[in-house]
Every structure is written in C-alpha cells, then in structure tokens.
Amino acid sequence: MTVDVADTLREINFRTPKETINALLLELTKAKASPTQVWERLVRVEKSERDRCNLARRTRTATLGSFKTIDNFDWTWPRSVDRAQYESLSSLSFIDEGHNVLFRGQPGTGKTMLAQNLGLLALQRGYSVRFSTLAAALADLLRQESSPAVERRFKRYTLPDLLILDELGYLPQDTRAADMLYNVIARRHERASTIITTNLAYKQWGTIFPSAACIGALVDRFAQHCHDVDIDAETYRGNRGQNETPPPKMPGRRRR
C-alpha cells in the first residue's frame, strides 16, 4: 500500500495545505533532491505556513481595523511633528523596554493612523497587539456582571505586548470607568507598552473623569516612561470621513 505523504504529514499536525506539499514533493523528486534536502524544504515551508497562520490569528485578535499605511502620511502637512521621533519609535524598542507612547493633537490630525501603523509593525515582528477606542474598552469592562468576569476580561487589555487606546478625551467617563482605566495602566506599568491618542494635555485628563481620585496616580504611571508625540496641525478630516487619515501627498504643500 502506497503511503500518502501529504496526508501523513497533515495527521501529525503539519499546517501546510496538502496541495502545496504534493507540489513541493513532485518538484523535489524531479530535482532528485536528497532526503536531507527534502526535509529542509518541508520544514521551511511548514515554518512559513505556521508564521502566516500565527500572524493572521494575532491580526484578528488585535482588531486594528482598516487604515492607510504610513507611506500615505503627509509629513509636510502639520505645522509641527517630530518625524525622527516617530521613525525611532518604529524600531519598537519602546515595547521591549515597557515604555508608553502618547499621540496628542487636535481631532483629525493623524494620531490614530500613526498609532495603528505602530500596531501593524508590532504584529509583523511577532508582538501581540490589542486596539480599541478608550470608550469601547471601558464599556467592555464595565458591562461584566461579576468580579471574576471583570478579572477575566482584564486579561484582554493587560496581556498584549502593545495596547492601543484611541480617543481619550472624546467622551466623559464616570469614576468607576476611571478606576478601570487606572487598573489597566497600573497592571501594565513597566511590564507592557500602552499607546494612547488624545487631544488633551495631561493636566486636562481629570475633566474626562470628574471627581475620580485616581487620575493623578494614573497619569503618573502612564507618563513615567512615556514618549510624547505632539502633532500641531489643522484637521485633515473635513469631509473625508471618520478616519484620521491625511490627504494625499502633494509636492510643495506646506502649512506655515
């Protein structure tokens, strides 16, 4: 009885599709490859397939949404933005160091796009990522009906290597929401990286969480090891839709 090699490999949890395995084996047979060469190619193909599946799974979990890639960002548009600082952040050393990043600027100036692109880079380099608006994350935590349920849900926001919380400052939150955010930031402090986008200075965060006693401690922990990226620009958005996406690049276009 002839053994179907592709089926056997699939039975021992090879993820490479059967058709790909068969095509590879046919190619190697015609090339009269040695057994060692056959296994080296099979292992290489299987590793590539597992990496692809792993990236797809982590991308689904990250919920980054749709966005334009960084090559579409018009660096000449803002009156002020530190491009060299952003390119340094793109090395992702801040994740290894457990540092945070704050993107601060008026609505529609590209904060979300810059944050999402760092999230994409992190995914591509093997980090786990989670993206959410701040309001959605807090609502998710607050709707849990018991302490054990809250603890389980906290893992969604405390375990990823990189957490991106978008739009702090757009919707007011109550004291309980402030406590939830403080717990997320405190549990990640010096262990995992968090990116926050906002239109507010640190001293204004209390206006979003009126009467919350933990805001000072929250800011202290987040800002202790934080790279602040300030964007001084007019809004890109206008009538372009809801995403913070810059207009197409145009030579010579510069705001003074």
What does the pLDDT look like over 105-122, one tens digit per residue? Answer: 999 999 999 999 999 999
Q: Which residue has the higher pLDDT, 96 or 55?
A: 96
Residue 34: predicted pLDDT: 93
Distance CA 160, CA 9 (A): 32
Give the structural domain span for 32.
5-60
Residues 172 and 101 in one domain: yes
Residues 68 and 191 in one domain: yes
Examine residue 238 and state whether it is found in any structural domain, yes or no: no
Distance CA 114, CA 254 (A): 19
Residues 41 and 161 in one domain: no
Taking residues 58-67, report their average pLDDT.
91
Taking residues 151-180, report their average pLDDT.
96
Going edge to edge, which strands form the sheet with 129-133? Answer: 129-133, 162-168, 193-198, 100-105, 226-231
Examine residue 251 and state whether it is found in any structural domain, yes or no: no
Distance CA 99, CA 94 (A): 5
Residues 74 and 142 in one domain: yes
Residues 107 and 153 in one domain: yes
In this predicted structure, the answer to whether residue 256 has a pLDDT above a threshold of 70 is no
The tokens for 190 are 């010096």
**Sorting pLDDT into bands at 50, 70 and 90, what band is 54?**
confident
Residues 220 and 105 in one domain: yes
Q: Model-level pTM greater than 0.85? A: no
**How many structural domains are present in the chain?**
2
Examine residue 239 and state whether it is found in any structural domain, yes or no: no
Taking residues 143-163, report their average pLDDT.
97
Residues 55 and 139 in one domain: no
Residues 184 and 74 in one domain: yes
